[in-house]
């Protein structure tokens, strides 16, 4: 299979960006954590996702880019003691992003299979929950503690490994999410780790912000 052209990849990423930005990456109650992580919601709290966005118009491009290369199977982030399987998610029929659902895989990281496989040109997108009302901290609970230079290793299903170095960790209000900066084309292979956070909005039963880790391939 030939690799999608840059214009095709840009259209796909912008479609995905729109879906993710509107959905807000609530991830079933996942949250962004900075230097002083907020406590997870009380166990009795029920955390609900934001209303899904409208389906992106077909004219904006294909709904999902077929990935090429071996998909990611594991992620390791030594600086925050993360070692997790990596599952995959796609888009729902309404155009919203799938997220890990309650069950055995809830605390796994998940790669958006419409983005490039790690190590290929472009931003590979991996997301994860930060906590749950029932079980407390999840896979990306300490994501906001990463610092520039920290290493992230993604091992593919074919057992090849790619190591990325963190360039930046940023927090954005959900209604000001910079879609192009996060999902737009890049000159080389990059990685985006995404979860939610900030203050918890009791009325909306979701966190107010997103955290995004920007990383680039080093080996």
Question: Quick one: pLDDT at residue 134?
Answer: 86
Q: Look up the pTM and report it.
A: 0.73
- Tell me whether residue 23 is exposed, middle or buried, using C-beta atoms within 10 angstroms of its C-beta: 0 to 12, 13 to 18, 19 or more: buried
Across 160-194, b (16+ Cβ under 10 Å) vs e yields eebbbebeebbebebeebebeebbeebeebbbbbb
Strands 151-156 vs 189-201: parallel, antiparallel or unpaired: unpaired
pLDDT digits (tens), the chain, 219 positions: 444 445 545 544 544 554 444 344 444 343 333 323 333 333 322 232 332 222 232 323 223 454 678 999 999 999 999 999 999 998 888 776 788 998 999 999 999 998 999 999 999 999 999 888 888 999 999 999 999 999 999 999 999 999 999 999 999 998 888 888 888 899 999 999 999 888 888 888 787 888 999 999 999
Domain positions in the chain are 6-45+69-217
The superfamily CATH assigns to domain 6-45+69-217 is: Sortase (2.40.260.10)
Question: Quick one: pLDDT at residue 96?
Answer: 67
Question: Quick one: pLDDT at residue 210?
Answer: 87
């Amino acid at each position: 299979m030939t690799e999608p052209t840059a214009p095709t990849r840009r259209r796909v990423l912008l479609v995905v960006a729109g879906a993710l930005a509107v959905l807000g990456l609530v991830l079933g109650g996942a949250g962004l954590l900075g230097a002083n992580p907020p406590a997870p919601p009380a166990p009795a709290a029920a955390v609900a996702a934001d209303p899904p966005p409208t389906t992106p118009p077909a004219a904006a491009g294909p709904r999902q880019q077929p990935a090429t290369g071996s998909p990611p199977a594991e992620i390791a982030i030594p600086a925050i003691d993360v070692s997790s399987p990596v599952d995959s998610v796609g888009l729902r029929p309404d155009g919203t992003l799938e997220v890990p659902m309650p069950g055995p895989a809830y605390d796994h990281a998940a790669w958006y299979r419409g983005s490039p496989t790690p190590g290929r040109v472009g931003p590979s997108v991996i997301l994860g929950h930060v906590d749950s009302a029932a079980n407390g901290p999840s896979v990306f609970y300490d994501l906001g503690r990463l610092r520039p230079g920290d290493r992230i290793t993604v091992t593919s299903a074919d057992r090849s490994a790619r190591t990325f170095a963190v360039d930046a960790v940023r927090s954005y209000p959900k209604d000001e999410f910079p879609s192009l900066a996060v999902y737009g084309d890049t000159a080389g292979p990059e990685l985006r780790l995404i979860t939610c956070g900030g203050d918890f909005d009791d009325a909306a039963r979701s966190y107010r912000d997103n955290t995004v880790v920007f990383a680039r391939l080093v080996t």
